[in-house]
């Protein structure tokens, strides 16, 4: 007779083998295909990427120039994901608050008291953690701005720099000895920066239309500094990514971190 434990082990083995088979079925034809890889687009980008965009980093030239439509879609996906995550957190918080009427705890999820979780996390937030994260935070922010603003000439860009900015914001939030947050780690400030950055991003994306270059066209294409468009987009995207991810992580950490 099959026991639940045996069935669970069998099901785990079955799903693992199914995942390996599915991945192999997708990747194997690619490696076994004898048809040569297309090189026309690659050669064009290698020859014309820097001339068309002014960016030495061809990755930035591609995702902020040739495929800027996709980049705009990615920012919308990030916006929707943050909104969805905050909606779920708000829903969970409302359920927890409702269950706290009869109990003196904040609530219980899977048999674990959320008030105990907050107390435990606050206890683990030692003075050493506050000092280290508080000192590292500004350095990480500075490095994030560097990666964001110099992504057109070196590895990096808006998305990469934005994630580093988010790390710096989280460090500053952890290094704040006061209850709540202040400065750049304040959720209200982060929301305002993200909102303004997204609005500016939309205006910049559509600025090419008013300059006669079409939607998402580079309005600085005919000037001496066409790469300024990419630098501006990297800065805006970096601010939006950094503030949105930082805000979401701070919300997950709770009010008292």
pLDDT at 212: 65
Of 8-17, 59-68, 90-99, least confident by mean pLDDT is 90-99
Confidence of residue 125 (pLDDT cuts 50, 70, 90): low
> What is the average pLDDT across 98-106?
50
Confidence of residue 144 (pLDDT cuts 50, 70, 90): very high
CA–chain centroid gap for 143, Å, is 16
CB atoms near residue 220 (< 10 Å)? 20
Tell me the pTM: 0.71
pLDDT at 257: 45
What gap in Å lies between CA 181 and CA 251, rounded to an integer?
11
Confidence of residue 124 (pLDDT cuts 50, 70, 90): low
pLDDT at 255: 52
What phi-psi label fits residue 256: left (phi over 0), alpha (psi between -120 and 50 degrees) or beta? alpha
The owner of tokens 């860009």 is 157
What gap in Å lies between CA 234 and CA 236, rounded to an integer?
6
- Mean pLDDT over each residue of the chain, to the nearest integer: 79
- Report residue 108: phi and psi, to 5°: -135, 130
> What is the average pLDDT across 235-246?
92
Q: Model confidence over 181-213: pLDDT tens digits?
A: 557 778 888 888 989 999 998 888 888 777 766
């Amino acid at each position: 007779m099959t026991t639940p434990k045996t069935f669970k082990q069998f099901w785990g083995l079955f799903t693992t083998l199914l995942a390996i088979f599915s991945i192999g079925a997708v990747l194997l034809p690619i490696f076994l295909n004898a048809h040569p890889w297309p090189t026309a687009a690659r050669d064009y980008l290698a020859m014309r990427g820097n001339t068309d965009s002014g960016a030495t980093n061809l990755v930035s030239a591609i995702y902020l120039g040739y495929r800027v439509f996709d980049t705009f879609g990615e920012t919308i996906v990030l916006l929707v994901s943050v909104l969805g995550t905050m909606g779920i957190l708000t829903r969970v918080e409302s359920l927890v608050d409702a269950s706290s009427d009869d109990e003196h705890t904040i609530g219980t999820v899977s048999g674990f008291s959320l008030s105990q979780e907050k107390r435990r996390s606050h206890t683990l937030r030692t003075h050493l953690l506050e000092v280290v994260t508080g000192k590292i935070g500004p350095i990480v922010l500075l490095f994030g701005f560097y990666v964001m603003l110099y992504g057109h000439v070196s590895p990096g860009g808006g998305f990469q720099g934005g994630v580093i900015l988010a790390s710096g914001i989280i460090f500053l939030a952890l290094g704040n000895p006061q209850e709540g947050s202040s400065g750049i780690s304040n959720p209200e400030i982060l929301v305002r920066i993200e909102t303004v950055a997204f609005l500016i991003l939309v205006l910049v994306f559509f600025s090419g239309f008013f300059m006669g270059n079409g939607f998402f066209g580079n309005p600085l294409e005919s000037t001496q500094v066409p790469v300024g468009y990419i630098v501006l987009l990297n800065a805006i995207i970096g601010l939006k990514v950094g503030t949105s991810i930082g805000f979401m992580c701070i919300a997950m950490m709770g009010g008292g971190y």
